Structure 1
């Protein structure tokens, strides 16, 4: 089980925050407990986007406890791979064989998602 903390720096009141995610819900909760983050602060629980927003002081504790530092781009890749796989958690750390296979096809991914179609069918241009 791997826990990740990203490089984001977002102000929240007097605190500066970043994200903490993990390969599993159990791992995420265990790390939150270990570094003193209350479970009630979990964001997007039960989804592929499940994470905690943590203060930089907690980030330091997480790294000391074994969390892996990743960039915001790497964190985005992990979340995209989870979304594309249809499961909220993916085993392995960034760069694992599972994630590399899922990320390798980035140029084949429809990033925009399904395109809307009007109730009257696809839009047709007139010669006006």
Structure 2
């Protein structure tokens, strides 16, 4: 099970935001707690198309340091497509990555889970 952040940079006021999501809600909430993102900022249907947090780049840095995997801009769409079994969408994402010269799995930075002392 994994927590992910993407490499998008969406301006929001004076901040720059990206997305954070996970394989399970428990993992997502645990990472949000660890990096200091309030659970009230969880975005989920019907207001959002998928379960995630919009997080600042500072929080992204913390999440990556704690083991989150950095994906390309297609990471969220691929995650949702795999959840609902839309293999045609997954194939389309792979084609788009090929055109842009991105890793076909979408992973830009992967870290080992930090060791607990």
Distance in 2 of aligned mates of 1:62 and 1:11: 19
> After the TM superposition, which parts of structure 1 deviate over 4 Å for at least 4 consecutive aligned residues?
45-48, 102-105
Distance in 2 of aligned mates of 1:31 and 1:105: 26
Distance in 2 of aligned mates of 1:25 and 1:82: 13
Structure 2 contact 18–54 (Cα < 8 Å) conserved:
yes
**Count of residue correspondences:** 91
TM-score (norm 1): 0.63
Distance in 1 of aligned mates of 2:42 and 2:55: 10
Matches within 5 A, 1:45-64: 49-64=50-65
Kindly state the Cα deviation for residue 76 of structure 1 after the two structures are TM-superposed.
1.4
Q: From the CA coordinates, give the structure whose radius of gyration is larger.
A: 1
Distance 1:28 1:103, change over 3 A: farther
Aligned twin of 1:73: 74
Aligned twin of 1:36: 36
SS of alignment partner, residue 43 of structure 1: coil
Structure 2 contact 44–50 (Cα < 8 Å) conserved:
yes
| Structure 1 unaligned regions, length at least 5 | 86-101, 108-128
Structure 1 contact 45–51 (Cα < 8 Å) conserved:
no
Structure 2 contact 82–90 (Cα < 8 Å) conserved:
no
| Structure 2 unaligned regions, length at least 5 | 93-117
